[in-house]
Each structure stands twice: as structure tokens, then as C-alpha cells.
Amino acid sequence: MSGGQEVGSRKQEAGGEKRIGAGGGWRVGRRYTSRMSKRDGVGVRTAKKRARRAVGASANGKAAGARPPAVLPERDREAHKRWLLEITQIPTAAGREQRVAAWIRAWVAARPELVLKEDAAGNLVIEPKKRWGKSGAGAPRPIFITAHLDHPAFVVERIIGPGTVELAFRGGVMDEYFRDARVVVHVGDGGRAERAVSAILSGEGAGVASADGKERLFKTYTAELDEEVEVGVGDVGTWALPPAEVDGHGIVHTHACDDLAALAAALSAYDTLLQGMRVGAAGVGGQDVRLIFTRSEEIGFTGAIAACKLRTMPKNARVIALENSRSFADSPIGGGPIVRVGDRMSVFSPRLTAACAKRAEQIAGHAASPRATERNAVVAEGMKWQRKLMAGGACEATVFCAYGYEATCLCLPLGNYHNMADLADVQAGTYDVAAKGPPRVGREFIALGDYEGLVDLLVAIGMELPEANPVVERIEKLYEKHEFVLREGGAAKGVGGRKGAKREARRG
């Protein structure tokens, strides 16, 4: 979806930007409900009523829990898109995330209210200097929005000779994609001048073995550089790909959506909340919201596991991990951001997942999919969103849950997962090598509308995220409404009471 208006005038600076006039031109966002009414040509009250009904909160028309803020603060769509395109083209690899970290540092430095901290594993935490939200007993538990800093890529393992290096691949990509592939080595760490050198993969190496020598941790490949440039061990190598672009259908084709598009969405939402704080926007600032960006996810969640062990997040944190997940037919690109209920390994905290889904329902004005008693048009209005398992991979929410955190995931449906074009055919063995040549990598892609929807959902969550399980509350209300039926047919007393319901809702 679109609909963000320009916010004042601005000029861009490296990494972050400066707005001319603090809060100048900042306006309150439009109401989803009024847009519905305009399009339908019916009264606002009818549209609101319908929106409430679509939310399905309860029979008596009252939303379960606190009333949702009807309005999101104005979103600066142009800046969010620019950050998306910039960040997703920054070379990064597990363990070698310093360029993305530098971009984030500059972004935080341009916002005097924020501070960036680093834990002992190098994970980055962004938080306000003066904490948002109430404190003390009964205050909402902190919310941590997470994304990872790395993407499957190469790291220079060894210099073989002038113009020849050995590259280790850190991440999950099928062997078929490496044959004679073009790559780019990014020179320029440790004070050396930044420089990109093209190269071609020329053969497979012995791989990088584990400390005990029993396991191969990373595949390695020899690469011939196009020019004899001094390359250092530890330099990052990426696939050679065309620059990022948004095509005429609103699809963003870029180097590394996973997970840098999610990282950009987190920063965008945080910036929106921060701007809301500056002008005292209604509904903003009631909760303690922080960001954490983890390292080395692609080789097995290393940074996230370290964050759990280090207790980088307090034990009572509600953790919302952001991902880009391989899209399948039932989780289409352009179908909206996804409230992900689980992954290939586990299911996430039901209470927190339900709370995020409730916020999606509230800002969208409808459930993720129509009921069997509804027309499909019910979900055609407002923001699109999806509620899915996404079993194509595993994500950090599984790690956070395993270490006892309440955690869930929001994700963007992703095309060319891990840069593997034609992946389904290559996996199925139906890829026609004779006609098409060896499988080739391509830019990953997402829908810009899904990205904007994710930003909106994160803003809504940052404004308000119910602590109690909305599903339990909804079920209790259903029971209250229909319990009389159980007294029919001979049962004299019914079950009565709502013993334990509140406790259950809290426990989730």
C-alpha cells in the first residue's frame, strides 16, 4: 500500500538525515476508517462499525482490552524507501557486519535522543537516552524489536597468490549456484581505502573445518580477481548483482533483503515513533521500545544465542524478531507483512503472536483472511496482512523462545531466497540446464507495500501491544454470549463463572 505524504523539506546526510525545523510539517496520519468510508461512499460511522466487526473483537462492539489508537503517526515513506535501498546494498557477512553497523551508528548519531550500545558479542542495541513508557509495577514489559545484520556471503579465507584468493561462504546456498559465478570482493577494512574488485569463482576448495577437524563449517572456493588488488583475509565478498531498483509493479529488487530490509523497517518504525515523541503525538511513548540488531544469524543464530546468554535483553522482554522468509504460493509477495506463528523448528509464544495479530487486525480493519461466512472483499480494504507458519527456514524467534523469552516473528515474504533464482526448479530437479545454463543467483525481492505495511505494523505495536492474550479474551466473550445454550436440552445449571479466565489470558 502507499499513502504516506511528504513530511516537510529535508536534506540528506550520510547515514541519517537532518530535518529542517524540528517536527516541521509533521502531520497526523489519516484514519484507515475514513478511507474505507470514502471509497465505499458510506458514512464514517458505518465504516467504523464494519471495521470493528471485521476486527471481530467481540459481539458487543467493544474491543477486547484497551481501545486501539485509530491513527498512526505520519510516516515518512520516502526516507523509509531510501533507507531500504541503501541498507540492503551494503556488503555484509556473518562475523563481518561492520559496514552495516557503521551505517546504523551514523543514523543513531543524527538523533540526539537515541543511544547505541554494543554487547560483548557485538550485537547492537538502540534505545532512547530517556526511557520511553511508564516504569514501576504494572508498567508494560519492554518490547525488543530485532533483526540480523548479516546475509549469506563470502569472506576471504586465504591469499593464494597474486590475483587469486580462497573465499569461504558463510550461509545457506545450494552448490549449483557457485559454478563460474561472478563475485565482488570488498576491500577496505582496517584503514585501507574502500574498493570493490570483481572476480570469478574458479574451483572448489577444501572448506573451513571445525576446531576438532571433524566437521566442515563453510564451503570454500578459489576466485580469480579481475585486477591485481591487495585483498586482505577477512574482506567480504558478495555476488555480483545489478544495483537495487523498484520496478513498475512496486517490487523492490535488491542485494540482501534478508535481513537488511527488516532492519530498515525497524529503523523506519523507530524513527516514526521518535518523531511522534518529539511532537507529543497521541498514543506514542506509552511503552518501553528498543531495537536489537544481531550478528551472524546466517550460520546458526550465533549473535542471537550470545544475546540470550549475555542477557542483553532483560528476562521479561517481549521479543519481536523480524525476518524475510521464503515466499510460497500461500504466502505471496504483495500479500502484506506476515505475523509468523512459527518456523521450520518450532512455534512461537502464542500470547505475543496473538497480540501482534490483534494490532495488525486493528490497523488493517480486518482479519488476515475472510471467514467462511464472509465475502473475500472483507479483506480487500485497508492494509493487507497475513498470518502464516513459514516453514521454509528457521528464525531467531525460535532461539529466543528456547532461552525462555516470550518471542514471536514478523516477516516479509521474500523472492529469490538467499539470492537463489529459480530455486523451486533447482530443488525439484526440473531446472533445465541445457536451455538456461547453470543456475544463477539474482537479487532478492520483496514488495514495497509489504515493507511499508511492516513499518506500519511496527509503529502500531510500538504504540500499544496488549499484554494479555487477546485470543483468550475473545474466547471468553464468545462463551459469555452463548453459554445460555448449554442450559437447553436438560442441563439445568450450566458451567457459570469466568473462573481462571483472566489468569489464563495473562499466562497466554
The verdict on 464 binding Zn ion (CB under 5 A) reads no
Least Å from the CB of residue 426 to Zn ion: 17
Cis check for the bond before 259: say yes or no (omega within 30 of 0): yes
| Sheet with strand 318-326: strands edge to edge | 114-118, 124-128, 289-294, 143-148, 318-326, 406-414, 338-340, 386-388
Helices (H), 67-133: 77-87, 98-109
Query: C-alpha cell of 31?
Result: 484514519
Least distance from Zn ion to the Cβ atom of residue 93, Å: 12
Nearer to Zn ion, 258 or 406 (CB): 258
Site string for Zn ion, 185-204 (x = CB under 5 A): --------------------
Least distance in angstroms from the C-beta of 254 to Zn ion = 14
**333 or 383: CB nearest Zn ion:** 333
Rounded CA-CA distance 335/330 in Å is: 9
Please give the size of the binding site for Zn ion, defined by CB under 5 A. 1
Residue closer to Zn ion (CB basis): 97 or 258: 258
**Cβ nearer to Zn ion, comparing 185 with 411:** 411
- Judged by beta carbon, residue 74 or residue 450, the one nearer Zn ion is 450
End-to-end, the C-alpha distance of the chain in Å comes to: 32
Q: How far apart are the C-alpha atoms of 267 and 256, rounded to whole Å? A: 16
Establish if 258 lies at the interface with Zn ion (CB under 5 A).
Answer: yes
Q: Are 290 and 125 in contact (CB under 8 A)?
A: yes
Nearest distance in Å: CB 298, Zn ion: 5
CB nearer to Zn ion: pick between 74 and 258: 258
Q: Which residue has the cell 542471537?
A: 304
Q: Which stretch binds Zn ion (CB under 5 A): 78-86, 96-104, 250-258, 382-390?
A: 250-258
By CB under 5 A, which span of 257-265, 328-336, 357-365, 366-374 interacts with Zn ion?
Answer: 257-265
Site string (279-318) toward Zn ion, x via CB under 5 A: ----------------------------------------
Three-state secondary-structure class, residue 366 = coil
- Using the rule CB under 5 A, give the single segment among 25-33, 228-236, 253-261, 463-471 that binds Zn ion: 253-261
The residue nearest Zn ion at its CB is 258
Q: Which is nearer to Zn ion, 92 or 386 (CB)?
A: 92
How many residues would you count in the chain? Answer: 508
Which cell numbers hold the place of 321? 524478531
* Integer Cα distance of 26 and 33 in angstroms: 21
Q: Considering beta carbons, is residue 166 or 396 the nearer one to Zn ion?
A: 396
Instruction: For Zn ion, give the closer residue by CB, 396 or 473.
Output: 396
Quote the cell numbers at residue 391. 516453514
Binding segment (CB under 5 A) for Zn ion, from list 187-195, 256-264, 360-368, 443-451:
256-264
Q: How far is the CB of 397 from Zn ion (least distance, A)?
A: 13
**258 or 396, CB closer to Zn ion?**
258
Q: Shortest Cβ distance from residue 369 to Zn ion (Å)?
A: 26
Distance CA 242, CA 442 (A): 9
The single-letter DSSP state of residue 455 is H
Binding mask 203-242 for Zn ion (x = CB under 5 A): ----------------------------------------
Residue number with CB closer to Zn ion (298 or 464): 298
395 to 219, 297, 304, 461: CA distances (angstroms): 22, 8, 10, 20
Query: Closest separation between CB of residue 148 and Zn ion, Å?
Result: 8
Residue 367 carries which side chain, given as an amino acid letter? A
Nearer to Zn ion, 119 or 258 (CB): 258
Stretch that binds Zn ion, among 87-95, 176-184, 254-262, 397-405 (CB under 5 A): 254-262
Span from 82-90, 110-118, 251-259, 446-454 in contact with Zn ion (CB under 5 A):
251-259
**Shortest distance in whole angstroms from residue 141 CB to Zn ion:** 28
State the DSSP H helix or E strand holding residue 274, giving kind and residue range, or none if neither.
Answer: helix 257-279
**Eight-state DSSP code of residue 419:** G
Q: Which residues contact 305 (CB under 8 A, 6 or more apart)?
A: 399, 403
Which residues does residue 444 pair with via DSSP β-bridges, in sequence order? 254
User: Which among 450, 458, 457 is positioned nearest to 414, based on CA atoms?
Assistant: 450
- Listed ranges 255-263, 299-307, 373-381, 452-460: which one lies at the site for Zn ion (CB under 5 A): 255-263
Q: In the complex, what is the shortest distance from the CB of residue 288 to Zn ion, in angstroms, rounded to a whole number?
A: 29
CB 272 within 8 A of CB 73: yes
Residue 474: in which H helix or E strand, if any? helix 470-482
Angle 424-147-273 from CA coordinates, rounded to 5°: 125
- Cell triple for 119: 554487547
Binding of Zn ion at residue 396 (CB under 5 A)? Answer: no
**How far apart are CB 117 and Zn ion at their closest, in Å?**
25
Closest contact distance (angstroms) between CB of 218 and Zn ion is 15
Query: Within 13 Å, how many C-alpha atoms sit on residue 365's CB side?
Result: 22
Q: Which residues in this chain contact Zn ion in the complex, by CB under 5 A?
A: 258
